[in-house]
A and B are shown apart, each in its own frame.
Chain A
Amino acid sequence: MAFLELETLSKAFGTHRAVDGLTLGVEKGEFVSLLGPSGCGKTTTLQMIAGFVEPSGGAIRLEGRDLLAVKPAKRGLGIVFQSYALFPHMTVAENVSFGLEMQRVAAAECTKRVGDTLELVGLGAFAGRYPRQLSGGQQQRVALARALVIRPQILLLDEPLSNLDAKLREEMQIELRQIQRTVGTTTILVTHDQGEAMALSDRIVVMNNGRAEQIGPPHEAYERPATPFVASFLGKTNLVNGKAVRPERISFAAVGLAGTVRTRIFQGNHWLYQVDTADGLLTVIRQNTGEEMPEEGATVHLSWLAP
């Protein structure tokens, strides 16, 4: 029996099935991502776990107990919202201590835990500030601290990094992973960013049209996609004779499938090619090793190991 179990969980809005029979077991301490395009049902799933949306069918169990019978305020889950949803009229420390006040934690312990958690997210010096006086990344950390300080059984993250710029997002990914490892909280992340999901997760759930297309470790889902949707959603892919071939697995060789370079784009650490072949237009990614590379219009031969 898994720590958190979703069993044929469904939600219909009118005739639209937002979530359609999702079954998933999450182990204690695991980091699982719900990944998919917008409208795939990932956010609805998260809201059903949080208790803000009532399922049309199925069950949610936490340590074997029926979670749906528990009011949202009593579920004791930590949630980080996409908009952070910080309380603007409270200081950082007041925001973080709010959940502890609700649990009637003694003042001395409350102060200590708030301080510790703010240190954990690197905001020890900002306790007296108001959310408006913080940058987006700092607000994000406050939201994380506010969710973690109540020592939730499960941490739910709803697109927590999507409002940050690319560089900050990468830094926060690394930090989020470290924090999650440190505290060991079972975490469910909802995201549409496949890079983010793969970087952070122990397992990913690739969702489409309310269903799980594949559940597995990121590496496995990337290397052995169960469906064409998973293959195309998890990064670039070529379909050759009905088989998915990742562009970085194709190399230029002396012999192999003949083609003509249509476009060549330099992207710093790698080159992105589009090559016209008898099997159609193929995307090829080659590492930038500083060597001379085929130019546009050049005739090349492509080879790859069968997946």
Chain B
Amino acid sequence: MKATPYLLSLPALILFAAIVIVPLGMTVALSFHDWGQYKGIEPVFILKNWREVFTDSYYGEMFWRTFRIALAVTVLTALFGAPEAYILNRMKSPWRGFFLLVILGPLLISVVARTLGWALLFGGQGGLVNKALMGAGLIDAPLPFMFTETGMIVALTHVMMPYMVLAVWAALQRLDPQIENAAVALGAGPVTVLRRIVLPQALPGILSGGIIVFTLAASAFATPAIIGGRRLKVASTLAYDEFLNTLNWPLGAVVAVLLLVALVAIVFGANRLIERRYAQVFG
């Protein structure tokens, strides 16, 4: 029976359709509906919301900011996470296990709690670090952190670090332990070994870690909501505000759909690029 595999996967397909496809379709449909302060949502087909998002520079700036922050976070996690993974990979037990726990530990703590921690350290006059630095006379005014892009980037980098470390570590574990010795025997110094031998082989891991971090950072909600609040919005907090504060669901739906489409396009594009570049090398 040819139909049997399809019948067997039917329950899963129904579940998938019910919880993913249907709400997604409804959100897309919603983005074409009309909305007014007093009349609420009208189920008609208009392009008003889409036109508004594409023409009003307010939205453009917000998407640009989201992209900028996600890119900065990706670059920073790569800069810190890749060396971290390399050092971790060279450690011997029991230290390796211990530091792996240190790196993964934050994943066990809620993102909200971790971000609030940053707010406690740097938030305004009362922040612990700001108070200490001012007390020591190193700075005159508190370091701006809350409601700044820098603050958001720092907090998100901290939150996303484990994903990058894990991705690079996985790539490094496939490395032949003799390969660095082989390069050394051929006359390569430590820097050359890192640059010419280790880094190129860690690159697929850095790129796949980059894709994970970029998508998570671009769609992150809790950290931008706490650090940026209403003053510094990104796409996800904007969609949230349109849905729950302005109650302009159709406009919120446009933002949500645009974010999704942009992320899917970026992930697919990056993935194809990586696969084409490394297919024959690493297979």
Q: Do A and B bind each other?
A: yes
Q: Which residue of A lies closest to B180 (CB)?
A: A85
Q: B283 — which chain A residues lie within 8 A by C-beta?
A: 132
Q: Is the interface of A mostly helix, strand, loop or mixed?
A: loop
Interface residues of B: mostly helix, strand, loop or mixed? helix
B201 neighbours in A (Cβ, 8 Å)? 88-89
B181/A102 in contact, CB under 8 A: no
Q: How far is the CA of A17 from the CA of B282 in the complex (A)?
A: 40
How many angstroms from the CA of A73 to the CA of B181 in the assembled complex? 9
Chain A residues near B181 (CB-CB < 8 A): 50, 52, 72, 79, 81, 85
Given contacts A88-B201, A89-B201, A133-B280, whether A74 and B179 have CB atoms under 8 Å apart is: no
Q: Do A87 and B187 contact each other (CB < 8 Å), given the known contacts A132-B282, A133-B280?
A: no
Chain B 146-171, CB-CB to A under 8 Å as 1, else 0, gives 00000000000000000000000000
Tell me, yes or no, whether B273 is within 8 Å of chain A by CB. no
Could you say which residues of chain B place their CB within 8 Å of the CB of A98? 183, 186, 188, 196
Interface footprint category on A: 20 to 34
A99 at the interface (CB under 8 A from B): yes
A89 touches B280 (CB 8 A): no
The verdict on A252 contacting chain B, using a C-beta distance below 8 Å, is no
Of all chain A residues, the one with the shortest Cβ separation from B185 is A79
Q: How many A-B residue pairs have CB under 8 A?
A: 67
Closest to B199 in A: A89
Q: A81-B181, A85-B181, A89-B200 are in contact. Are A103 and B280 (CB under 8 A)?
A: no
A132, B280: Cβ atoms closer than 8 Å = yes
B5 adjacent to chain A (CB < 8 Å): no
State which of A82, A83, A133, A146 has its C-beta within 8 Å of the C-beta of B186: A146
Tell me the complex Cα distance, A102–B186, Å: 7
List of B residues within 8 angstroms of A73 by Cβ: 184-185, 187-189
**In the complex, what residues of B have CB within 8 A of residue A83's CB?**
176, 178
Binding site for B on A (CB under 8 A): 50-52, 72-79, 81-83, 85-89, 98-99, 102-103, 130, 132-133, 146, 150
